[in-house]
Amino acid sequence: MLLYFSISAFAAAVSLSIVTYASTRAYLLDQRSELATSQAINNAQLLRTLVGVSPQDAGDIVTNIRTEKGGYAVLHLVAAESFFAQEPLRFTQSNLPSELLAKTLAGQSSRQRFEFNGEPYEALGISIAAISGHYFEAFPLTDVERTLNTIRTTLTFGIILITIAGGIFGFSSSNSVLRPLRRVATVATDIASGGLDARLEDERDPELARLANSFNNMVDAVQTRIQRETRFASDVSHELRSPITALAAAVEVLQGRRDDLSDRNKQAFDIIAGQVQRFDRTVLDLLELSRLDAGAGKSQEENVNLADLVKRVAQRHGFGEVAFASTVDSSDSTVLDKRRIERIVLNLLENARDHAGGATALSVIGGQNEFRICVDDAGAGVAESERERIFDRFARGTASRNSTGSGLGLAIVQEHARALGGKTWVETNSNGGARFVVTVKRNSSSDASKGDS
């Protein structure tokens, strides 16, 4: 907007200056020409009288004729075939424009602007039939040119000042217009980042106040709906815990008498046991997502070596055979929540086991500002079209649609990564399988204390 106002002001100033300069120039030149023409005609009439009486004194008469300061006169007598110059040592007929000279000698009075000794002049040619002569008078335009130069300089400075003023006005106007929009953008960014309590402040301007109220009402409605849906998912999950626990207990009791069942009943029992286990896992995942959405649970941050922590998590949960690699030095430590790291690593390893033929590699890569936790699997990889959607809740890749699982594991990984200041994505590993990558922000103990404060 600043550039727009500056260009607009510049264009308007240039246009106005051009019109002003052209009008002023035409006026000054016309005024100058009228005065000079009137004087030249008077001089021509005087020459007609004096030369008509004493043609032999034509040279002296022309020399004594009164012209403007810096002006010159030349008289041509056809009978004598001679030119008489007022100042023959400085100006003669040879200094007149040839076109003007030819037209006047042909009997046609005319005028023409020209330059003499680097200065602007205007010459007038008048035919004097009474004495069979032609009178030429040249008068300087130096004063007019000097005035026009002053006007041109003034207009140039005016253009510069108007352009600067336009830029300042544009900057001020754009700030006043865009300031509320910047506040809206800032609050919207905070809301998108999870700060649903962010609101716009009251505005004095009626239109802006209406915008702020509408925006705040919209955010209130969104927050209410999200909180209602979050509470609903949490309440449903809690309500389902009791019957699922009872079902799981019943399945354990029946498991002891499985051998007494027929083959067909064993198949039915296995299906029930598998679905109860899957149902139980789904409810637990829903409860965890509800807590993450609500921001519940106090972060328990500790100063740990991330590579050592990831390796111990894998071994503790039965994934010790997965090849492990790290670029993190044993003395390199960072402050983070170990429970979140454990959940991320476990979910990724279980996802590889359940949906992609198992994990083939687990690695931790250290960087200046972040760490990367990578899990490679032996599956067919994830299609490009599914790489973003696979982290959505209840989303399943093409290769895992017939497998067990709640479809919430990767969504939980993503939420924990965001809480740790990182992000998640999936790419293709060197063997054609999938590589899930989670970044974790590197924190020092001082950063952690600032965050807690």
Cβ burial, residue 260 (10 Å; 0-12/13-18/19+): exposed
Q: Which residue has the tokens 């600032």?
A: 450
Give the H/E segment covering residue 74.
Answer: strand 72-77
Confidence of residue 252 (pLDDT cuts 50, 70, 90): confident
Q: Is the dihedral of CA 106, 111, 117, 118 positive or negative?
A: negative
DSSP H helices, 118-193, are 142-192
Q: d(Cα 330, Cα 169) in Å, to the nearest integer?
A: 60
Q: Please work out, in degrees rounded to the nearest 5, the angle formed at the alpha carbon of residue 435 by the alpha carbons of 433 and 437.
A: 170
- Check if the beta carbon of residue 51 is closer than 8 Å to that of residue 58: yes
323-326 and 301-304 as β-strands: parallel, antiparallel, unpaired? unpaired
Structure letter (DSSP) for residue 261 = S
Tens digits of residue pLDDT in 418-444: 888 899 999 999 888 999 999 999 886
Range with the poorest average pLDDT among 11-20, 172-181, 262-271, 383-392: 172-181
Q: Report whether pLDDT(367) > 80.
A: yes
DSSP H helices, 260-398, are 263-294, 306-316, 338-355
Compute the residue count for the chain. 453
Q: d(Cα 55, Cα 133) in Å, to the nearest integer?
A: 11
- Of the chain, the percentage scoring pLDDT greater than 90 comes to 24
Tens digits of residue pLDDT in 110-137: 889 999 988 999 999 999 988 899 999 9
- Check if the beta carbon of residue 414 is closer than 8 Å to that of residue 392: no
pLDDT at 402: 53
Helices (H) and strands (E) in the chain, counts: 10, 12
**Helix (H/G/I), strand (E/B), else coil: 137:** strand
Average pLDDT over all residues of the chain = 83
Q: Which two tokens stand for residue 411?
A: 């969504």
Tens digits of residue pLDDT in 5-22: 778 888 888 888 898 888
Q: d(Cα 256, Cα 380) in Å, to the nearest integer?
A: 38
For the residues 303-328, what does the mean pLDDT come to? Answer: 92
| Listed residue (285, 275, 224, 230) closest to 251, CA to CA | 275
**Helix (H/G/I), strand (E/B), else coil: 364:** strand
For the residues 267-292, what does the mean pLDDT come to? Answer: 74
Structure letter (DSSP) for residue 81 = T
Residue 67 identity: T
DSSP 91-105: --GGGS-HHHHHHHH
Write down all domains in the chain, each with its CATH number in brackets: 2-149 (3.30.450.20), 206-294 (1.10.287.130), 301-452 (3.30.565.10)
Tens digits of residue pLDDT in 187-221: 888 877 767 778 877 777 777 778 788 888 888 88
Q: d(Cα 204, Cα 91) in Å, to the nearest integer?
A: 77
pLDDT at 446: 47
- Half-sphere exposure in the Cβ direction for 17 (13 Å, CA): 21
Torsion, Cα of 176, 180, 186, 191 (10° steps): 180
Q: Report whether pLDDT(312) > 90.
A: yes
CB neighbour burial string for 191-200, b if at least 16 within 10 angstroms, e if fewer: beeeebebbb
pLDDT at 348: 92
Residue 354 identity: D
